[in-house]
Structure 1
Amino acid sequence: MTDNRRLAAIAGLALTLGACAGPAIPHPSARPPAAPPPTAVRPVQNNALIGSSVDAVGRMFGKPRLDVTEGAGRKLQFAGSRCVLDIYFYAPRAGANPVATHVDARAPDGRNAEVNSCAEALRR
């Protein structure tokens, strides 16, 4: 076997073995980074529904068209002929009851609507 062939064979073997290597195994004393502490949910909107409980919203608008829970959040959707209102609820801190922290309003055709006007139109 010539030197060039021998070098090519060794290089091919090295590439093959290198492809089989997995990720480095962490040292047993290495710890995963600590999870950040939970943060309080702070509302950033200013409308009449922010801070309302699920029960209070139910008394205002009746039964929602949609009631969706995902993770720590919950969305109630109310709809009428003039608009659709989505109200998102999160607990302000661990162990607290969820309150409305975000509200979206839109016309039936998808255009944005003013939240307080839509809420007034949907009240029972």
Structure 2
Amino acid sequence: MIPSRRVAALLPALAIAGCTATAPATAPRPQPVAAALPSVGLESVIGQDATALVRSFGPPDADVREGTARKLQFSSAICILDAYLYPPSGGSGEAKVTWVDSRQRDGRSIDRASCVAALARRDGGK
């Protein structure tokens, strides 16, 4: 049997221990993963030079140069494709397409490969 004095001395400590808050266990946050955009269907554009793009899609609707970079813009009734050309890292040589963006004519998104296919099918431009 425990003496009552001892119990009385332990009661405040037990009461305080019961009042302490413990942090709720939280699941670790998932780390963001870089999603690679699919490039299937873009083989006819990525890595090509300006001459090859013109051969595929006709004359560009816009040709913008900024320093050594160049953007060729092609449009159809369905979409607009921006092809970004940059020279090789050494600086010499023909600029090649390294990235493309696409959008529908009203600005909504569209799959890049679908836009390339639509441009390849356009007859005489727009």
Q: TM-score, normalised by structure 2?
A: 0.60
Q: 2:94 aligns with which of 97, 100, 103?
A: 97
What residue is the counterpart of 2:106 in the other structure?
109
Kindly provide the CA deviation profile for residues 46-98 of structure 1, in whole angstroms up to 9, marking residues without a partner as x.
33211011100010000110001011100000111100000000012211210
Give the Å deviation of 1:115: 1.1
Give the Å deviation of 1:102: 0.7
Aligned partners of 2:68, 2:58: CA distance in 1, in Å? 23
Equivalent residues in 2 for 1:1-124, closer than 5 Å: 46=39, 47-48=42-43, 49-93=45-89, 94-123=91-120, 124=122
- How many correspondences in the alignment? 81
SS class of match (1:104): strand
Aligned partners of 2:105, 2:94: CA distance in 1, in Å? 31
Give the Å deviation of 1:121: 0.7
Unmatched runs of 5 consecutive residues or more in structure 1: 1-43
Instruction: Tell which structure's C-alpha radius of gyration is larger.
Output: 2
Unmatched runs of 5 consecutive residues or more in structure 2: 1-35
Aligned partners of 1:51, 1:92: CA distance in 2, in Å? 11
RMSD over aligned CA atoms reads 1.5
Amino acid at match of 1:120: A
Runs of 4+ in 1 over 6 A off after TM superposition: none
